[in-house]
Amino acid sequence: MRKIFLFTVILINFSTLTSVKAQDKGFGLGVIIGEPTGLSAKYWLDENKALDFGLAYSFVQSVNALSVHCDYIYHNYDVIKSDLRIPVYYGFGARFRVGNDSKNALGARGVLGILYLDEQYPFDVFAEIAPVFNLFPKTSLQVDLAIGARYYFR
């Protein structure tokens, strides 16, 4: 684990030696902290649309499950007026959760969040809320909450 962290720090340091613009294109990889906690990936389709992925684990006692989600999201840059690039994003997708003791579930996921796109370095920081309407094996409503950051590869 220490080697992975060290490699990530070195990679980020080398990548910041060149001048880059805010990330609204390409592929980003990072972490999600919250419910659930794990890895986050994002692939920009154009300046306003992206695919957002998550592979995470829920540590809540009643759930304790591996969670995989994919969302199609839209970015609105006009909601927050600022010199910084802080779009609000929203979208929809699906979540599959696999756990012990029949805690498997497939659900429709809505997402609403806020994103900070750095103008100088290839990363973003985000916070989001995502209600999930589980469809199988039985209907229920859950909420995913997360903060996170992603590094963008060029």
Note the pLDDT tens digit of each residue in 84-112: 999 999 999 999 999 876 678 999 999 99
- pLDDT for 12 equals 47
**109, 97 contact by CB (below 8 A):** no
pLDDT at position 124 over 80: yes
Which helix (H) or strand (E) segment holds residue 36: the answer is none
Range with the lowest mean pLDDT among 12-16, 21-25, 103-107? 12-16
Helices within the chain (DSSP H only)? 2-15
Q: How confident is the model at residue 24 (pLDDT cuts 50, 70, 90)?
A: low
Give me the mean pLDDT over the 39-60 stretch.
94
Model confidence, pTM: 0.80
- pLDDT for 102 equals 65
Note the pLDDT tens digit of each residue in 52-78: 999 999 887 676 889 999 999 999 999
Could you tell me the domains of the chain? 2-153 (2.40.160.20)
Q: What three-state secondary structure class fits 77?
A: coil
pLDDT at position 18 over 60: no
3-state helix, strand, coil in the chain (%, to 5): 10, 60, 30
